[in-house]
């Protein structure tokens, strides 16, 4: 028997996530996870999870989370859609908006999941390069795409586009604009307030980074009722499991805990940047919980391998534009010390 799949599936290779070492003591700075544990209230909520709730299907419309998040963000609960990670929300929106005649557009370099979602959906992709400063490229206004995605702050560069700029883009696009704010908790400001004026805008948030819940899988989007209505038609009925809903609820209600961790991480980020500059490296500014750094001697790939040998994992991407760079997640103070010590050894002239 010979089986075959749709042409687009046969041709694609699929998204490559960062390596997950089984060894929990590894210094893992390769997938931008939060180095600190989630709020103690999350752990308590999971411990107290009523077994009866495991037997039943979970709330389809994530009622408790929506109500709490609406209060935190000052929006209508009906404007919130939740997903099994922010990645699932990206899938839902691509399915809502795109097909063979309805392209997906985004500036590059950016999150490498977007093209994979387009390949699965079999829609055309319009990639427009950022300028050297990470500004919105003028051609992005002109694509005519059904869906445009702007990762802001951007991954893997760490650059940030001011909300006024994003508002202008939203105002000029005829399609939907999704602003992927997975890292926005580490930036100075965000685009949530633009929803008042832009009804083609979707703001995407993740609980994986600032809220330390990457393993739980929970993300959410805020958008106009018309966009939410379309997404509700496409999503699975029970797309977020009960444990994730309970954990995300406790986490979103504990804003003080989240803010305290974000402050610790941004302080460590600035410390890392300063230390790397003292070693003669030139890390870019970052509005996220990671840093992109260029290496020449030894080359990035060699630095990456030497770090792996020391049980320190950072990210080296296959794209040619990123071949000379490593993306390093900001770790705890101790993890960052370990990283810096290792880099000092590796970069020492032989």
Least spacing, CB of residue 272 vs ligand PLP, in Å: 18
Residues touching ligand PLP, count (CB under 6 A): 13
Give the residue among 109, 81, 342, 340 at the shortest CA–CA distance from 229.
81
Binds ligand PLP (CB under 6 A): choice among 214, 242, 275, 281: 214
Helix (H) or strand (E) holding 308: helix 300-309
Question: Which of 34, 39, 208, 286 is in the footprint of ligand PLP by CB under 6 A?
Answer: 208
User: What is the chain's length?
Assistant: 350
Residues 76-80: contacts with CB under 8 Å, at least 24 apart: 76/225, 78/225, 78/228, 79/195, 79/222, 79/223, 79/224, 79/225, 79/228, 80/220, 80/221, 80/222, 80/228
Minimum separation from the CB atom of position 219 to ligand PLP (A): 4
Tell whether residue 118 is a contact of ligand PLP (CB under 6 A).
no
**Nearest residue to 13 via CA among 99, 107, 111, 119:** 119
**In this structure, what token pair is assigned to residue 28?**
């893992």
Measured from each CB, the residue nearest to ligand PLP is 85
x/- map, 5-44, ligand PLP, by CB under 6 A: ---------------------------x------------
| Stretch binding ligand PLP (CB under 6 A), from 11-19, 80-88, 236-244, 254-262 | 80-88
Dihedral sign for Cα 238, 243, 246, 248, please.
Answer: negative
Question: Taking CB under 6 A as the criterion, which residues in 317-346 touch ligand PLP?
Answer: none
Nearer to ligand PLP, 68 or 86 (CB): 86
Please pick, from the candidates 94, 96, 182, 244, the single residue that binds ligand PLP as defined by CB under 6 A. Answer: 182
Q: Which one of 83-91, 97-105, 293-301, 306-314 is the stretch in contact with ligand PLP (CB under 6 A)? A: 83-91
Identify the residue among 65, 109, 180, 244 touching ligand PLP (CB under 6 A).
180
Residue 185 within binding range of ligand PLP, rule CB under 6 A: no
Please tell me the distance from the alpha carbon of residue 42 to that of residue 248, in angstroms, as a whole number.
8
The gap between the terminal CA atoms of the chain, to the nearest Å, is 58
CB contact at 8 A, 210 and 219: no
Query: Among residues 190, 206, 266, 336, which is the contact residue for ligand PLP, using CB under 6 A?
Result: 206
Query: With binding defined as CB under 6 A, does residue 156 bind ligand PLP?
Result: no
Q: Does 87 bind ligand PLP (CB under 6 A)?
A: yes
CA 262 to the chain's CA centroid: 15
d(CA 293, CA 79): 38
Footprint on this chain of ligand PLP (rule: CB under 6 A)? 32, 85-87, 111, 151, 155, 180, 182, 206, 208, 214, 219
């Amino acid at each position: 028997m010979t089986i075959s799949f749709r042409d687009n599936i046969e041709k694609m290779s699929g998204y490559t996530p960062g390596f997950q070492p089984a060894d929990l003591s590894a210094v893992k700075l390769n997938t931008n996870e939060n180095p600190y544990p989630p709020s103690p209230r999350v752990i308590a909520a999971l411990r107290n999870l009523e077994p009866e709730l495991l037997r039943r299907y979970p709330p389809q419309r994530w009622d408790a989370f929506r109500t709490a998040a609406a209060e935190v963000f000052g929006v209508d609960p009906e404007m919130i859609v939740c997903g099994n990670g922010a990645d699932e929300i990206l899938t839902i929106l691509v399915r809502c908006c795109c097909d063979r005649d309805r392209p997906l557009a985004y500036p590059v370099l950016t999150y490498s999941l977007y093209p994979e979602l387009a390949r699965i959906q079999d829609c055309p992709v319009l990639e427009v390069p950022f300028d050297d400063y990470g500004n919105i490229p003028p051609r992005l206004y002109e694509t005519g795409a059904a869906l445009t995605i702007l990762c802001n702050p951007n991954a893997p560069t760490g650059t940030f586009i001011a909300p006024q700029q994003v508002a202008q883009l939203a105002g000029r696009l005829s399609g939907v604009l999704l602003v992927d704010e997975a890292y926005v908790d580490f930036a100075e400001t965000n685009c949530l307030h633009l929803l008042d004026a832009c009804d083609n805008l979707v703001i995407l948030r993740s609980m994986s980074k600032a809220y330390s819940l990457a393993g739980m899988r929970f993300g959410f989007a805020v958008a106009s009722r018309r966009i939410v209505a379309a997404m509700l038609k496409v999503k699975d009925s029970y797309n977020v499991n009960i444990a994730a809903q309970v954990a995300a609820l406790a986490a979103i209600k504990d804003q003080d805990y989240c803010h305290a961790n974000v402050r610790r991480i941004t302080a460590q980020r600035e410390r890392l940047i300063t230390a790397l500059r003292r070693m003669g490296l030139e890390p870019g500014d970052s509005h996220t919980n990671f840093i992109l750094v260029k290496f020449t001697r030894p080359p990035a790939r060699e630095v990456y391998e030497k770090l792996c040998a020391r049980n320190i994992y950072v990210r080296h991407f296959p794209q040619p534009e990123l071949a000379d760079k490593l993306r390093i997640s900001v770790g705890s103070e101790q993890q960052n010390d370990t990283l810096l010590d290792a880099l000092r050894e590796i970069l020492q002239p032989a």
